[in-house]
Amino acid sequence: MDFNISFTAGAKPEELYDLIIIGGGPAGLTAGLYAARYKIKTLMIEKMPVSGGQLTATEWVENYPGFPEPILGQKLAKDMETQAKLFGLEVINEDVVKVELTGKIKKVHTPYAVWQAKTVLISTGSSPRKLNVPGEAEYKGNGVSYCATCDGPFYPDKIIGVVGGGNTAFEESLFLAKYASRIYLIHRSDNYRADEILKERVEQNPKIEYVPFYQVDKIDFANPDGKKIILSKTPNPGNVIPAQAGIRPVLSNPTHHPESVGLRPTTPSDEKMELTVDGIFIFIGNDPNTKLFEGQLDLENGYIVTDRSHKTNVEGVWAAGDVQSKALRQVATAVGDGACASYWINKYLEEWKE
Amino acid sequence: MPILDEKIKQEVTKILANMVKPITIKLFTQGMECGYCKETHELLNEIVATNDKLKLQVLDLEKDTEEVKKHNIEEIPAIVVMDEKDHGIKFYGIPAGYEFSSLLNALLMVSTGVAKLTDETKAFLDKLEKPVDLKVFVTPTCPYCPQAVILAHQMAYYSDKVTAEMVEVSEYAHLAVKYQVQGVPRTVVNEKWFQEGAAPEQILVEKIKEAL
């Protein structure tokens, strides 16, 4: 049994901090660790009582170097936090509601206080993207989920639809397969972005079945005994990128699979299908948590634009991790971003004058 | 075998060193302890041993009927965190995993007398006329859940009209069915109104207004 502790105390709003880090995922925690070692007076503001961000909702991390045995996401997060605090990082659990970034002194508002600093590092990460289909918001928490470690236990021997084609969708399908009796992995094409190793595992798992070339049109969980999702063939199949070599859908036409009891075509051409499920998990990528910064910072598709030193277009403001406009969003890249940003912030502070 | 390892125990000791007032933890269990009752009992023994200001009182669901009635206990294992007064702060099921933070938070909050709520929320709670009960359903592997539990417990501590229970739903399948829990955290307000997810203070306040 695990016992996860995360605790904070001691920060005072009347202090002027050298650095405020907004968001306590791997990028923020690493920046915090480096900053604490530089002896920069640093405050991290994390809204959740446990630091770690998305890492906390990840079961196993297999691709973070140094851990040849997979490490639990919650353990890695906890250890990162412990390490940073060991060197003196202060963390408070408050929700940032407003920022004033342009002045010499930056102001960060929470419902309880206004925190002030010479520099700000934004590491607010990203949140699961919504499908934006009818029924999704309505049945959130009632069969619609974005967190497998949270809600997986509600689906023993149940049928689950998982939407997505990337690493998260594949990893979480494998996690959910520990509980569920059957998983339909629904994706717009048969071109899966997940790492090869995950594809192999999914294909070897008898509980997981690919449903390629379909998108979710509607989630209809109104009848608790007949929950269903409505799928339709992805439009413009011509736009779908051809399958990568060696990857082939288990089923080109899932409706004809004898075991696919839950799948029922509603039109003769299979244009539309009804899928009977007990729940649906959505892993179709993330959206950056940048609403607070709109109009204050340069954004690109919602992500914060930075230069090579992780600086934003506003003086004294940096960004690191998933929230940055960049190609790869992993724990390994986030910690690098955080370390680098702290380095440049430290340099900047050496020259800082009121 | 101890339930908390040495490192965690040290950390608990350090955190609880900030306690001010003495705290009583009441554990409701039964003679032949259920699996989680036993583990919860052991966990509390180990926590109480870290600080003189903590006292554990073990009660029996069958025998201690008056206490059961007084604290309105419905399931076991149940934990009540209180000082000289019951503030309506309860845990049903073992506060393990991420919920361990919620338990430590409750101990510190009651001991230091500080509930972190905005002035707006406090003003709203001050004006409550009817009782408000908050049941927060969680799983131990849900990182978003402590936020919802801690908020509910803060409201319970601040207002005599509010009671708040963490419910570790995997231990009480019948409650999952009764309250239609299929995702966590889920806060049930006065048995009927639901709030999904770890909602900020104002959102939960709005939900409570709806329920009243």
Length of chain A: 354
Contact B163, B90 (CB under 8 A): yes
Are B185 and B105 contained in the same domain?
Answer: no
Is B100:B143 a contact under the CB 8 Å cutoff?
A: no
Whether residue A153 is found in the same domain as residue A96: no
Query: Got the DSSP string for A197-247?
Result: HHHHHHHH-TTEEEETTEEEEEEE-SSTTS-EEEEEEPS-GGGSPPPPTT-
In a domain, A3, yes or no: no
Containing A280, the helix (H) or strand (E) segment is: strand A279-282
Q: CB contact, 8 Å: A147 with chain B?
A: yes
User: Is beta strand A106-109 parallel, antiparallel or unpaired with respect to B78-82?
Assistant: unpaired
Q: Which residues pair with residue B186 across a beta bridge?
A: B137, B196
Question: One of A2, A79, A151, A190 is an active-site residue; which one?
Answer: A151
- Please indicate, yes or no, whether residues A274 and A290 belong to a single structural domain of this protein: no
Q: Is A279 on the interface with B (CB under 8 A)?
A: yes
Question: Total domain count for chain A?
Answer: 2
Q: With pLDDT > 90 as the criterion, what percentage of chain A qualifies?
A: 81
Quick check: A331 and A61 in contact, CB under 8 A?
yes
Domain boundary among B63, B85, B112: B112
pLDDT of residue A261: 47
B157 interfacial to chain A (CB closer than 8 Å): no
pLDDT of residue A267: 55
- Give the range of the structural domain holding residue B82, as residue numbers without chain letter: 6-112
Report pLDDT digits (tens) over A109-157.
Answer: 999 999 999 999 999 999 999 999 999 999 998 999 999 999 999 999 9
Residue B1 domain-assigned? no
A270 is known as an active-site residue? no
Same domain? For A160 and A177 the reply is: yes
Residue B2: per-residue pLDDT: 85
Please report whether residue B92 resides in a domain: yes
Q: H or E element: which one contains A342?
A: helix A331-351
pLDDT band at A259 (very low <50, low <70, confident <90, very high): very low
- Is A164 in the same domain as A116? no
Q: What is the pLDDT of residue A42?
A: 96
Verify that A193 and A312 share a domain, yes or no: no
Q: Which of B8, B139, B147 sits opposite A3 (nearest CB)?
A: B8
* Residue-averaged pLDDT of chain A: 89
CATH number at residue A190: 3.50.50.60
Q: In whole angstroms, what is the distance from residue B48 CA to residue B36 CA?
A: 18
pLDDT classification of A266: cutoffs 50, 70, 90: low
Could you tell me which chain A residue has the CA closest to the CA of B120? A111
pTM of the model as a whole: 0.88
C-alpha to C-alpha distance for A171 and A58, rounded to whole angstroms: 9
Final residue in a domain of this structure, among B112, B131, B162: B112
List pLDDT tens digits, range B157-167.
999 999 999 99
Q: Do B146 and A112 touch (CB under 8 A)?
A: no
Q: Do B35 and B50 fall into the same domain? A: yes
User: Can you tell me the distance from the alpha carbon of B207 to that of A258, in angstroms, rounded to the nearest whole number?
Assistant: 46
Q: Do residue A154 and residue A257 come from a single domain?
A: yes
Active-site residue, selected from the candidate residues A18, A79, A95, A150: A150
- Domain termination site, one of A255, A282, A309: A282
Average pLDDT score over residue span A156-184: 96
- Per-residue DSSP letter, B159: -
* Domain assignment of residue A202, given as a range: 144-282
Cβ neighbours of A50 in B, within 8 Å: 98, 101, 143, 146
**Any idea what the CATH number is for the domain that residue B169 is in?**
3.40.30.10
pLDDT the model gives residue A288? 97
Number of domains in chain B: 2
Answer whether A190's CB lies under 8 Å from A249's CB.
yes
Residue A134 in any domain: the answer is: no
Q: Is A111 an interface residue toward B (CB < 8 Å)? A: yes
B63 Cβ contact partners less than 8 Å away, ≥ 6 residues apart? B31
Question: A93: nearest CA in chain B?
Answer: B147
Please state which of the ranges A60-64, A254-258, B206-210 shows the lowest mean pLDDT. Answer: A254-258
First to last CA, chain A: 51
Answer whether residue A77 is part of any domain: yes
